[in-house]
Amino acid sequence: MAKLSLRGVVKKFGDNTVCDGIDLDVEEGQMVCLIGASGAGKSTLLRCINLLEAVEDGEIFLDGEDIAEPGLNPQGVRARIGMVFQSFNLFPHMTALENAMLAPRRVHGRSKADLVGEVEDLFKRFGLADRMHNYPDQLSGGQQQRVAIIRALAMRPEVMLFDEITSALDPQLVGEVLDVLLMLKQQGMTMVLATHEMGFARQAADKVCFLKDGKIIEEGPPEALFDAPQREETKAFLARALK
Amino acid sequence: MTTTKAAGMTRRERYEAQQRKRSLIIAATSTVVVVGCLMIFVPMSPGWEKVQRSFFNGGVLADTFPKLLDAFKVNVMIFAWSAPAIAILGLLIALARDAKSPALFPLRIFGAAFTDVFRGVPVILTVYLIGFGIPGLGLPRPWNSPYIWGSLALILTYSAYVAEIFRAGIDSVHQSQRSAALSLGLTERQVMRDVILPQAIRNVVPSQMNMLIALQKDVSLLSFIGPVEIFRQAGVFKSLTANFTPYVGAAIIFLIVTIPATRYADYLMAKQMRDRS
């Protein structure tokens, strides 16, 4: 059974259908990359998986349980699925450490003393031990994004969603964030990424899905999709994206 | 090249220094001219001596000023217990108006009605209605004190305004903060308390400072229902001395408090603008 399974997911904003019947399977420990032009529905799909958007139709199975069931309490699901955003969205009034400890304290009811060692280890592992007590505006973009990843990991999620997390970064900072993703992959984290980093998708993904107009037009292992795309739309997109 | 080196300034710096000097000279000249004209022409007006005697009488000022200061303590006292009550009630009303749960719908209606009513009625009317009306129910002492009901009138009116400012502050926190907090599994309530409110409150501190300054002045409205605060005391002295100078004395005391407070609020406001850009 797939860790995460989407069946016929539909999301509309008014008359605008952003996700138009999406099927997707993500196996435990897999890294799946969603590629496609801006507006293709990648970000919205991730927001739907994290229940930040309510889907109009379709099912989303996490370990076989349908989390898209209307009326389901979303907090329990979100605590199991971590999400990192393009614009970092760190809480500016808290230090990096406080950012990472807030949710485990509130959601899991753990004490600061109990948590602090574990969270400090995360900061050490991702090379930010000397930045723990800084506020977000004292950190570079790449550091802020790594703190955002640590904040999500502190909840010990089973699945991580990454929404174009390098798009707001200066080119020289992209690498340090992508390295973190590779570390997570090695540790066996199940991940879904919306990304414009084609080189990274090709190198690291287990599966790549090409989205257009809210549909997955083509999917497959990166070698197949990048080197021998079957559909005209995919070829056209890759020709532009890889230029 | 050699001249710039000699002056130790770049071309741009030299130009700007010159401009600064020019502005300074113009500002100084125009100030001297305006103040000079006022000093020459105002005393030339036919009623000046009378005005000076009845409004700017040094002797009366010296006699009444210490007692006016004493009376001002009443203002400070009323302000001191009203301000925290306003902050708390204002925040509660703001939260009530943003309540999403259907069970809290009556609270939302109440919040909306509250702000509409108390922002729509002149403060002095609220002070009269509550300050005279409620003790009129025949309450025993000390519950018929105009201090209590007058303060309540101020608290209700100012809470309505303060609540609207808090709401604007809550709206000023970007949606993405909410998304991020929700994505971590926090409940709406926790998101509001831990993430949105701390930022919202910080964003509205300068605006709320201005409300405090307005409140400090409006405490004087309670004089109409009894408490002998500074405005009322000045009125008493006006009758005793047949002179308006005590009012000027009262105005001076207000300014001693409000000018630094206003400057500070402006400073906070300017600082916030700088931080945001």
Residue B182 is part of a domain; what is its CATH number?
1.10.3720.10
Nearest to A83 by CA among A180, A21, A155, A26: A155
pLDDT on residue B141:
81
Alpha carbon of residue B152 to chain centroid: 18
pLDDT band at B164 (very low <50, low <70, confident <90, very high): very high
Q: Which residues of A155-177 are buried (b: 16+ CB within 10 A; e: fewer)?
A: bebbbbbbbbbbeebeeebbebb
| DSSP label at residue B196 | I
- Are B220 and B257 within one domain? yes
- Establish if B264 belongs to a structural domain: yes
Domain region containing B141: 60-276
Cβ atoms of residues A197 and A43 within 8 Å:
no
- Are B14 and B88 within one domain? no
- Are B213 and B125 within one domain? yes
Residues of chain A in contact with residue B190, where contact means CB-CB under 8 angstroms, are 106
Q: What is the pLDDT along chain A (243 residues), one digit of tens a residue?
A: 899 999 999 999 999 999 999 999 999 999 999 999 988 999 999 999 999 999 999 999 999 999 999 889 999 999 999 999 999 999 999 999 999 999 999 999 999 999 999 999 999 999 999 999 999 999 999 999 999 999 999 999 999 999 999 998 988 889 999 999 999 999 999 999 999 999 999 999 999 999 999 999 999 999 999 999 999 999 999 999 887
Cβ atoms of residues B221 and B169 within 8 Å:
no
- Beta-strand (E) ranges in chain A? 4-13, 16-26, 31-35, 57-62, 65-66, 81-84, 159-163, 190-194, 207-212, 215-220
- Establish if B50 belongs to a structural domain: no
Query: Whole-angstrom distance between the N-terminal and C-terminal Cα of chain A?
Result: 38
Rounded (5°) CA angle A36-A39-A40:
40
pLDDT on residue B44:
87
Q: Do B180 and A91 touch (CB under 8 A)?
A: yes
- Are B115 and B216 within one domain? yes
Average pLDDT rounded to a whole number, residues B45-56: 87
pLDDT band at B265 (very low <50, low <70, confident <90, very high): confident
Total of domains in chain B: 2
Quote the minimal CA–CA distance from B111 to chain A in Å. Answer: 28
Q: Higher pLDDT residue, B226 or B18?
A: B18
Please state, as a whole number, how many other Cβ atoms lie within 10 Å of the Cβ of residue B166: 27
A59-68, B87-96, B122-131, B264-273: which has the minimum mean pLDDT? B264-273
What residues have CB less than 8 Å from A145, skipping those under 6 apart? A84, A88, A165, A166, A169, A177
Domains and CATH numbers, chain A: 4-89+160-241 (3.40.50.300)
The burial class, CB within 10 Å (0-12 / 13-18 / 19+), for A118 is middle
- Establish if B45 belongs to a structural domain: no
Helix (H, G, I), strand (E, B) or coil at B171: helix
Nearest to B160 by CA among B234, B211, B222, B230: B211
Distance CA A105, CA A101 (A): 6
Determine how β-strand A159-163 pairs with β-strand A190-194.
parallel
| DSSP label at residue B68 | H
Residues of chain B in contact with residue A93, where contact means CB-CB under 8 angstroms, are 198-199, 202
Q: Do B194 and A107 touch (CB under 8 A)?
A: no
- Establish if B67 belongs to a structural domain: yes
Phi–psi pair at A217, nearest 5 degrees: -80, -40
Helix (H, G, I), strand (E, B) or coil at A204: helix
- Are B113 and B218 within one domain? yes
Output the six-digit token pair for B14: 């030299």
pLDDT on residue B8:
80
Quote the minimal CA–CA distance from B223 to chain A in Å. Answer: 43
- Are B125 and B255 within one domain? yes
- Establish if B231 belongs to a structural domain: yes
Cβ atoms of residues B170 and B197 within 8 Å:
yes
Q: What is the dihedral of CA A7, A10, A11, A13, to 10 degrees?
A: 180
pLDDT on residue B171:
93
- Establish if B54 belongs to a structural domain: no
- Are B250 and B139 within one domain? yes
Output the six-digit token pair for B118: 């108390």
Q: Do A85 and B180 touch (CB under 8 A)?
A: yes
- Are B153 and B93 within one domain? yes
State the ipTM, two decimals: 0.93
Distance CA A157, CA B58 (A): 76
- B26 pLDDT more than 80: yes
Query: Mutation test of the interface with chain B: which of A102, A145, A153, choosing the one with the most B Cβ atoms within 10 A?
Result: A102
Q: What is the per-residue pLDDT across B215-240, written as a single tens digit (0 to 9) for each? A: 999 999 998 888 888 999 999 999 99
Average pLDDT rounded to a whole number, residues B26-49: 91
- Are B22 and B141 within one domain? no
pLDDT on residue A135:
94
Cβ atoms of residues A17 and A10 within 8 Å:
yes
- Are B101 and B179 within one domain? yes
Determine how β-strand A65-66 pairs with β-strand A57-62.
antiparallel
What residues have CB less than 8 Å from A230, skipping those under 6 apart? A218
pLDDT on residue A71:
86
Residue type, B131: G
Output the six-digit token pair for A197: 């980093």
Quote the minimal CA–CA distance from A230 to chain B in Å. Answer: 36
Residue type, B254: F
The angle, 0 to 180 degrees and rounded to 10, between the axes of the packed helices B146-172 and B58-97 is 50
**Which of B:187-206 have CB within 8 Å of A?**
187, 190, 194-195, 198-199, 202
pLDDT on residue B174:
93
- Are B26 and B138 within one domain? no
Q: Do B183 and A76 touch (CB under 8 A)?
A: no
pLDDT band at B53 (very low <50, low <70, confident <90, very high): confident
- Establish if B21 belongs to a structural domain: yes
- B2 pLDDT more than 60: no
Output the six-digit token pair for A44: 């919205």
- Are B93 and B179 within one domain? yes
- Establish if B181 belongs to a structural domain: yes
Distance CA B28, CA B10 (A): 27
User: Which of B183, B195, B199 comes nearest A52 by C-beta?
Assistant: B183
Phi–psi pair at A174, nearest 5 degrees: -60, -40
pLDDT on residue B277:
59
Nearest to B15 by CA among B27, B4, B1: B4
